[in-house]
């Protein structure tokens, strides 16, 4: 066999014969048996990630009150949400902070509370129009009271990212956690060999329309994520040296599992959101399998100095993901403690759940409707 | 009995082998969790002491006679497991290795190593760590 098709894989899912392994398991399998043998055996590899991503949010529709109101200024549990859509539509951004509590309670917390079945207080005002005469409304609403509620994350699943260090002589508080002064620690954000876009670095199977496991339900890749940077520098395995591609994701909030969607608060920085994502990769050919078999000691990240308050920050070192995971890295002769911001434990659970869903015939693979652009690069802001 | 003690040294005691005497004369096992001293021998030791409660009490008496301050520390933290996502970020804050990730990438908290600095509380993005009894509304 030289190639495997989506149709053949989906047929095997239907008959229950499909063979699925996680992106961690495939590494050891290929090491033990070689590409040729594993290619014959394995149909699908599951990848996953669970880490904070600020560029997250949800679209909601509240339904019309009687008399109706055209909501212009809106808060949910005191967190401002967009009044810039139609009368009772809104977008709630994960990082928006509560007027009263600041970043300890943000948009991410509102979405999480809705998901947990809690009542959330809506307060909205409008100027009052002939067709929408009501000028102010206060209501307690639950997720089940809303018409539509879907998560839309403009940017998720960074292909690769940086590890963070602080070379200055004062502590820094960042979205990468607390960075202690004088290179006190290194924090990093990736699930390494489990990470979706590290396994398909040229976006052959992950594109617009790809079906994904999204916080417990089935969602889709909606578009290229913001700051999509496919025209980036790559190493010999095709892995971007820095950020690379990102994904815009969409899924039905009402079907999600609160176990896999959690607000995050970064001291001195703000609110963020961790949403669990699992992406199945069909083993279409041996070329793709080689990418899937790349191991943690072949995946590298730049360690970047976050004490430099500029857009591009200097790279202090380049370290492998296995070094980062080992708990410490050595930089210029100094042993420095490392800690992750993303949960490998949760990512593993997600890879398992997706694997099971495919085996149980509940999850079929969807070929991308449109392949991502390969020459897109991210610009800074115009000066 | 195991206790955690914060021993604070004024600069006049630098020449006395206080920890040695505690071990030798009072049969205490002393595990130094954290030490910080300046060049004048002013500073503090954070230790875990293991021994009979009688010996610990006598040892404390001795230490105080020497003009050294010793306080029992019982502050510790609680990780609310229902809220924790086991990311491991809190381990970056913990200097005493009380918080760590095990082979399975699960978060492990070892109370005996905790010096009660509370740094992890603010570092945890899930706000899963508190320094009192957990009161987590579900
Ligand atoms: S700061 Fe980090 S989490 Fe926030 S959008 Fe940027 S990459 Fe994502
Ligand atoms: S008022 Fe009309 S245009 Fe506006 S959202 Fe409703 S239907 Fe659409
Ligand atoms: S930082 Fe918080 S959520 Fe992450 S492992 Fe530690 S206690 Fe758990
Ligand atoms: S309070 Fe301090 S010593 Fe105790 S676990 Fe937290 S960071 Fe570690």
Closest CA to A115 of A273, A248, A271: A273
pLDDT band at B12 (very low <50, low <70, confident <90, very high): low
Class of domain B78-130: alpha beta
Q: Is B18 helix (H, G, I), strand (E, B) or coil?
A: helix
Quote the pLDDT of residue B74: 67
Residue A12's pLDDT is: 98
Domain ranges for chain B = 2-72, 78-130
Mean pLDDT, chain A cut into blocks of 10 residues (383 residues total): 94 98 97 97 97 94 95 97 94 97 97 98 96 96 97 90 92 92 93 92 95 98 91 86 89 97 94 96 97 94 91 90 93 93 96 98 97 83 83
Question: Which are the contacts of A230, defined by CB distance < 8 A and separation ≥ 6?
Answer: A203, A244, A245, A372, A373, A374, A375, A376, A377
Q: Do B88 and A340 touch (CB under 8 A)?
A: yes
Q: Could you give the count of Cα atoms lying within 13 Å of B49 in the half-sphere of its Cβ?
A: 29
> Which ligand 4 atom sits closest to the C-alpha of B93?
7
**Ranges of each domain in chain A:** 6-54+152-359, 63-146
Element (H, E) at A9: helix A6-15
Residue range B49-66: mean pLDDT, rounded: 83
Dihedral sign of CA atoms A49, A55, A56, A59 in order: negative
Q: Whole-angstrom distance between the N-terminal and C-terminal Cα of chain B? A: 36
Among A1, A131, A333, A375, which one carries the catalytic annotation?
A131
**Average pLDDT for residues B13-36, to the nearest whole number?**
82
Is pLDDT at B39 greater than 80 in this prediction? no
* Residue B49, pLDDT above cutoff 70: yes
Asked if the model's pLDDT at residue B135 lies above 50, the reply is no
pLDDT at A228: 86
Q: What is the pLDDT of residue B134?
A: 39
Who contacts A204 (Cβ-Cβ below 8 Å, separation ≥6)? A284, A288, A371
**What is the pLDDT at residue B133?**
44
Q: Residue B75: pLDDT band by 50, 70, 90 thresholds?
A: low
Q: Six-digit token pair at A48?
A: 């996953």
Q: Give the list of residues 6+ apart from residue A286 with CB closer than 8 angstroms, or none.
A: A35, A36, A39
**Ligand 3 atom nearest to B129, measured from its CA:** 7
Please determine, for residue B1, whether its predicted confidence score (pLDDT) is greater than 80. Answer: no
Whether B121 and chain A come into contact, CB under 8 Å, resolves to: no
SS3 A201: coil
Are the Cβ atoms of B125 and A340 closer than 8 angstroms? no
d(CA A45, CA A272): 29
The CA distance from A355 to A278, in Å, is 9
Q: What is the pLDDT of residue B132?
A: 59
Top pLDDT among A221 and B134 is at A221
CA distance A286 to chain B (A): 31
Quick check: helix, strand or coil at residue A40? Answer: helix
Is residue A110 within 8 A of residue A253, CB to CB? The reply is no
Ligand nearest to the CA of A343: 3
| Annotation marks residue A131 as catalytic | yes
ipTM of predicted complex? 0.89
Count of positions (residues) in chain A: 383
Strands A334-340 and A185-188: parallel
Among A322-326, B85-89, B128-132, the least confident range: B128-132
Report the nearest atom of ligand 3 relative to the CA of B107.
5
Using CB atoms, which residue from B86, B93, B119 is nearest to A343? B86
A265 or B47: which leads in pLDDT: A265
C-alpha distance from B88 to closest chain A C-alpha (Å): 6
Q: Domain B2-72 falls in which CATH fold?
A: Alpha-Beta Plaits (3.30.70)
Chain A residues whose CB is inside 8 A of the B90 CB are 339
Of B78, B70, B63, residue with least CA distance to B135: B78
């Amino acid at each position: 066999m030289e190639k495997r098709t989506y149709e053949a894989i989906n047929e095997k899912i239907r008959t229950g014969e499909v063979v699925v392994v996680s992106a961690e398991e495939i590494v050891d399998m290929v090491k033990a048996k070689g590409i040729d043998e594993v290619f014959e055996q394995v149909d699908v590899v599951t990848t996953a990630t669970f880490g904070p991503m600020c560029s997250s949010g949800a679209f909601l529709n509240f339904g019309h009150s009687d008399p109706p109101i055209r909501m212009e200024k809106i808060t949910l549990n005191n967190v401002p949400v967009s009044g810039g859509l139609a009368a009772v539509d809104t977008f709630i951004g994960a990082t928006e902070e509560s007027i009263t509590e600041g970043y300890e309670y943000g948009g991410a917390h509102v979405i999480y509370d809705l998901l947990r079945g809690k009542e959330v207080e809506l307060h909205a005002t409008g100027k009052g129009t002939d067709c929408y005469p009501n000028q102010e409304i206060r209501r307690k609403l639950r997720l089940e009271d809303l018409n539509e509620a879907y998560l839309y994350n403009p940017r998720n699943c960074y292909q690769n990212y940086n590890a963070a260090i602080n070379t200055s002589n004062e502590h820094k508080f960042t979205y990468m956690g607390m960075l202690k002064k004088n290179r006190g620690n290194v924090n990093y954000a990736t699930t390494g060999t489990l990470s979706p876009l590290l396994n398909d670095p040229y976006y052959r199977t992950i594109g617009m329309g790809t079906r994904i496991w999204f916080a417990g339900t089935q969602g889709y890749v909606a578009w290229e994520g913001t700051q999509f940077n496919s025209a980036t520098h790559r190493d010999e395995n095709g892995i971007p040296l820095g950020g690379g591609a990102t994904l815009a994701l969409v899924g039905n909030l009402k079907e999600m599992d609160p176990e896999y969607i959690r607000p995050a608060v970064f001291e001195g920085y703000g609110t963020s959101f961790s949403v669990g994502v699992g992406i199945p990769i069909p083993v279409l050919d041996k070329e793709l399998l080689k990418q899937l078999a790349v191991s943690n000691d072949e995946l590298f990240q730049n360690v970047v100095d976050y004490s430099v308050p500029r857009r591009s920050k200097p790279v202090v070192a380049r370290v492998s993901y296995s070094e980062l995971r080992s708990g410490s890295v050595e930089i210029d002769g100094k042993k420095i403690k490392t800690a992750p911001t993303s949960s490998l434990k949760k990512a593993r659970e997600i890879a398992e759940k997706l694997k099971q869903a495919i085996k149980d015939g509940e999850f079929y693979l969807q070929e991308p409707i449109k392949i991502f652009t390969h020459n897109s690069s991210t610009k800074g802001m115009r000066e | 009995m195991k206790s955690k003690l914060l021993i604070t040294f004024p600069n006049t005691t630098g020449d006395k082998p206080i920890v040695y005497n505690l071990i030798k004369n009072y049969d205490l096992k002393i595990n130094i969790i954290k030490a910080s001293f300046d060049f004048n021998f002013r500073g503090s030791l954070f230790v875990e002491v293991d021994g009979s409660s009688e010996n610990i009490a006598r040892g404390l008496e001795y230490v105080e006679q020497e003009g050294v301050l010793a306080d029992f520390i019982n502050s510790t933290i609680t990780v609310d497991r229902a809220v924790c996502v086991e990311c491991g970020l809190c381990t970056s804050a913990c200097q005493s290795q009380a918080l760590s990730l095990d082979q399975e990438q699960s978060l492990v908290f070892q109370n005996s190593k905790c010096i009660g600095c509370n740094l992890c509380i603010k570092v945890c993005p899930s706000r899963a760590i508190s320094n009192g009894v957990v009161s987590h509304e579900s």
